[in-house]
């Protein structure tokens, strides 16, 4: 599943091609995504795209009439292509632009979404999201407060979008390893000093992943069709049973909240 860095890389990739362009047509070939594409989204036709923002894993295409909300789901991708290129099997939505290009949405599994909301209104899918991990709102003090008294495993806490958005499974594994924290440890039993280290590592890991172009996953390619490169830098994710890059002890592979969790029982306490 594309995680926050991949979505941010997509945003950066499509922005120069889309912002300032008029949407001359929206073509919906299959409206049956995670949620049905609402008919109101037709209001985007004739509108100038003023900006593209990211909130968690959602991309928000702002126009004067409202904003389209795009989620890539498990296998979705956005590409900028000449309008003359024929659509393929899983190309479900096109935004035809005044430049002669299209913003094309491809999603084989159809777990993504295209939604619509009016200006100055917050769509329900955005209403309960926690702070952005790379923002000033995500601090050690904030996470310590949210962890206070919690028996929840720290990995589950930082993957909770109501606590902090966008720390998906890959980056939770990597951040906890970098911080030296056992992913099974109860969130409320971690000291303020170690929480501060964890917050710093979450920010560093995500920022580096964005810089590297997002992690290459089976179904992900960024807006120019090139895969991301962060997968080459992964320390533990997907490497259960291999030697720890720090101590050479074999990495453990368990499930926490039904998600694959790889960690070093020697280095992470």
- DSSP annotation of 41: G
Which residues form the catalytic set? 2-3, 57, 259
CATH numbers and ranges of domains, the chain: 4-126 (3.20.190.10), 140-263 (1.10.8.50)
Binding residues for DNA, as ranges, are 90, 109, 150
Task: Provide the pLDDT for residue 213.
Answer: 77
Owner of token pair 């991708």? 77
| Cut 0.85: pTM above it | yes
Q: Where are the beta strands (DSSP E) in 73-176?
A: 77-82, 91-97, 101-106, 113-117
Give strand pairing partners of 80: 103
- Could you report the per-residue pLDDT of 231-263, keeping only the tens digit for each? 667 899 999 999 999 999 999 999 999 999 999
Cα-based angle 234, 266, 259 (whole degrees, multiple of 5): 50
For a pLDDT cut of 90, what percent of the chain falls above it?
84
The H or E element spanning position 82 is strand 77-82
- Could you report the per-residue pLDDT of 116-152, keeping only the tens digit for each? 999 989 999 999 999 999 999 999 999 999 999 999 9
Q: Are 90 and 106 in contact (CB under 8 A)?
A: yes
- Residue 77 makes CB contacts below 8 A (sequence gap 6+) with 2, 10, 105, 106, 107, 219, 220, 221
């Amino acid at each position: 599943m594309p995680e926050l860095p991949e979505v941010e890389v997509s945003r950066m990739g499509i922005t120069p091609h889309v912002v300032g362009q008029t949407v001359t047509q929206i073509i919906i070939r299959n409206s049956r995504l995670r949620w049905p594409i609402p008919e109101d989204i037709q209001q985007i036709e004739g509108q100038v795209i003023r900006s593209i923002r990211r909130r968690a894993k959602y991309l928000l295409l702002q126009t004067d009439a409202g904003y389209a909300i795009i989620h890539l789901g498990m296998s979705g991708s956005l590409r900028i292509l000449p309008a003359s290129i024929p659509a393929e099997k899983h190309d479900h939505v096109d935004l035809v632009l005044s430049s002669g290009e299209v913003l094309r949405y491809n999603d084989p599994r159809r777990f993504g979404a295209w939604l619509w909301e009016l200006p100055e209104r917050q769509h329900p899918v955005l209403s309960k999201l926690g702070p952005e991990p790379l923002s000033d709102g995500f601090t050690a003090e904030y996470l310590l407060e949210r962890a206070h008294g919690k028996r929840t495993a720290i990995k589950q806490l930082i993957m909770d979008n109501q606590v902090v958005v966008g720390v998906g499974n890959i980056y939770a594994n990597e951040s906890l390893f970098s911080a030296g924290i056992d992913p099974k440890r109860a969130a409320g039993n971690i000291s303020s000093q170690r929480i501060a280290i964890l917050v710093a590592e979450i920010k560093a890991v995500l920022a580096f992943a964005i810089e590297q172009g997002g992690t290459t996953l089976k179904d992900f390619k960024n807006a120019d069709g090139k895969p991301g490169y962060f997968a080459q830098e992964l320390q533990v994710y997907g490497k259960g049973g291999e030697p720890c890059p720090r101590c050479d002890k074999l990495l453990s592979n368990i499930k926490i909240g039904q998600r694959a969790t790889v960690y070093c029982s020697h280095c992470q306490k």
